[in-house]
Amino acid sequence: MGMHTDVLIVGGGIAALAAAVALSDRGVRVVLVERTPHLGGRARSWRDDTTGDVVDVGPHVLLNKYRNMLGLLRRLGTDGDIVWQTDKFLTVVERGRRATIRNYPLPAPLHALPSLLHAESVSVRDMLSNRRVLWAALRLDEPALLQLDALDAETYLQQMGVSPRFIEWHWALTAMAILNLPLAQCSAGALMRFYKFMISHRDIDMGFAAVPLADLFVPGARRVIESHGGEIWLHAPIAEFVMPRAGTITGAVVADGRHIEAQYVIAAVAPQDLAPLLPHALRDTPLARDLPAFAPNPYICSYIWFDRKLTDEQAWARTWSPTNLNYDSYDLSNIRRGWRTRPSIIASNIIYSHRAHGMSDDAIIAATVRELAEFVPAAAQTTIRHARVHRIDMAIPCAFPGTERKRPVTRTPIENFFLAGDWTCTHLPASMESAVRSGLLAAEQVLDRLGRPAHLAEAMAPPEGLARLVQGMSRSPLQRQPPQSARF
């Protein structure tokens, strides 16, 4: 059995679906193949057998500056299914003490200063020790940022004179919450990329899916693809790509024997899944040699159904400690549409979860409840109706030192073979926004070769306030598209 299509897209996550929607909207026929029985990738959802509630792989956060992700949701009609936390950015907990981080009406990067001044856990001296990092981050251009990629974040912060207390209270949590790595193992370049973005905007809001996460993009993307004559094949792993002549892929063979002929191919899969799929023409290239550097970052998400309401908070985070398991927690009863009157359903993440691999599910739940009680003491005395532990192999690729330089561009040496995924060169941290942007960059490449050039992928929002003035004086702004000299 064989078929022909304009574009074959391998993968069923956000990057793949974003590329498929963009191409379908422009009259390009796609066939999307996904090796598992479901779409959504690392942002999928499913129904809990005991409660009947639809839960997600793990809680995911959106930001109102996610221009590409929110653009996709507007196209699919689900942008109204986000609950935005506008009264504050985040509540941080340390040994029972709370610090509320808000964005004040001050020009960036001064917007968070009042919150830091009110934090009881750090002194003014500690905060001032971060001034060199703040100034350096504002002036970073892409070449300078990639130079920092050679350093781990802890070493860089120490070299910049940041106090141990501020590193522990602020930076260690940031590294774990955003890049999912301890500071000593995290690329300084990757961390500064995110920091520069955060200090350049004073009105960043955090948002959460008011519906099951996958419902934000999976049903709508499927409708768009199929309404334009495209197809989605589930449970369809690729066995091999067909490459009868050097420099061009003509299609692929699915594991069940079906053949797909295609003019263009987009591989939108995780690095560890891409390695065995690479055509032989790419096996001895920097791309192939760099793939092992993108190690999967595992995490554990615990869902706990309590018998009463514990808090009105939507989300909170715990500061770093060598004894911590969980770092971010979410009460879904205050987030999901129609759940407001229900007892608390708390999802909590153990990030970079190697330290918990030997723990049983019961031990993880018990430890999670103890840590939740630091923020909501009633959690320790409340009956648990149901609990479930999800062990996930990969949240995002580990942003180890050196990986920012190795993130591949969309193009490959094979003229009709392109890459997408949150780990590729998007000039963004690995995230849903990075995934969507990568899919749109891949769609742009296909459309350009079809003679229908289009601007699809949006750059990150421009800086504001004083940050805009300072960055305007830097040597060179970040480019919308990765440079053509970037490594394949």
Contact call for residues 344 and 354 (beta carbons, < 8 A): no
Rounded CA separation 311/318 (Å): 16
Mean pLDDT estimate for the chain: 93
Which residues are 154's β-sheet partners? none
What pLDDT, on a 0 to 100 scale, did the predictor assign at position 134?
A: 95
Rounded CA separation 66/18 (Å): 14
Neighbouring C-beta atoms of residue 197, cutoff 10 Å: 20
Pairing mode, strands 231-233 and 30-33: parallel
Rounded CA separation 125/3 (Å): 67
Rounded CA separation 282/415 (Å): 12
Going by C-alpha positions, the residue among 68, 360, 60 that lies closest to residue 207 is 60
Q: For 85-143, write each residue's pLDDT tens digit.
A: 999 999 999 887 888 999 999 999 999 899 888 888 889 999 999 999 999 999 999 99
Rounded CA separation 332/314 (Å): 7
- Residue 346 pLDDT more than 80? yes
The DSSP result for 10-60, as a single string, is: E--SHHHHHHHHHHHHTT--EEEE-SSSSS-GGG-EEE-TTT--EEESS--
- Greater confidence (269 vs 95) lies with 269
Q: Give 477's DSSP letter.
A: P
Going by C-alpha positions, the residue among 269, 297, 276 that lies closest to residue 36 is 269
Rounded CA separation 399/467 (Å): 25
- Greater confidence (282 vs 446) lies with 446
- 35 vs 41, 234, 268, CA distance in Å? 10, 6, 12
Neighbouring C-beta atoms of residue 228, cutoff 10 Å: 17
Range of weakest confidence among 2-6, 149-153, 235-239:
2-6
3-state SS class at 470: helix
- Residue 487 pLDDT more than 50? no
pLDDT band at 73 (very low <50, low <70, confident <90, very high): very high
Which residues are 389's β-sheet partners? 302
What pLDDT, on a 0 to 100 scale, did the predictor assign at position 96?
A: 77
pLDDT band at 298 (very low <50, low <70, confident <90, very high): very high
> Which tokens sit at 236?
């369809």
> Which tokens sit at 130?
């971060």
Residues whose CB falls within 8 Å of the CB of residue 9, separated by 6 or more in sequence, listed in order? 16, 19, 20, 30, 31, 32, 33, 265, 266, 268
- Residue 10 pLDDT more than 70? yes
Q: For 182-228, write each residue's pLDDT tens digit.
A: 999 999 999 999 999 999 998 999 999 999 999 999 999 999 999 99
Going by C-alpha positions, the residue among 202, 185, 391, 192 that lies closest to residue 295 is 185
What pLDDT, on a 0 to 100 scale, did the predictor assign at position 280?
A: 83
Query: Using CB atoms within 10 A of its CB, is residue 333 exposed (0-12), middle (13-18) or buried (19+)?
Result: buried
Query: Using CB atoms within 10 A of its CB, is residue 344 exposed (0-12), middle (13-18) or buried (19+)?
Result: buried
Q: What is the SS3 string spanning 81-94? A: HEEEECCCCEEEEE
pLDDT band at 1 (very low <50, low <70, confident <90, very high): low
**Residue recorded with tokens 């792993």:** 237
Q: In what order do the strands lie in the sheet with 82-85?
A: 62-63, 206-209, 82-85
Helix, strand, coil % in the chain, rounded to nearest 5:
40, 20, 40
The DSSP result for 223-266, as a single string, is: HHHHHTT-EEESS--EEEEE-SBTTB--EEEETTS-EEEEEEEE
pLDDT band at 482 (very low <50, low <70, confident <90, very high): very low
The maximal CA–CA distance of the chain, rounded, in angstroms, is 70
- Residue 38 pLDDT more than 70? yes
Amino acid at 148: L
Question: What pTM does this model have?
Answer: 0.94
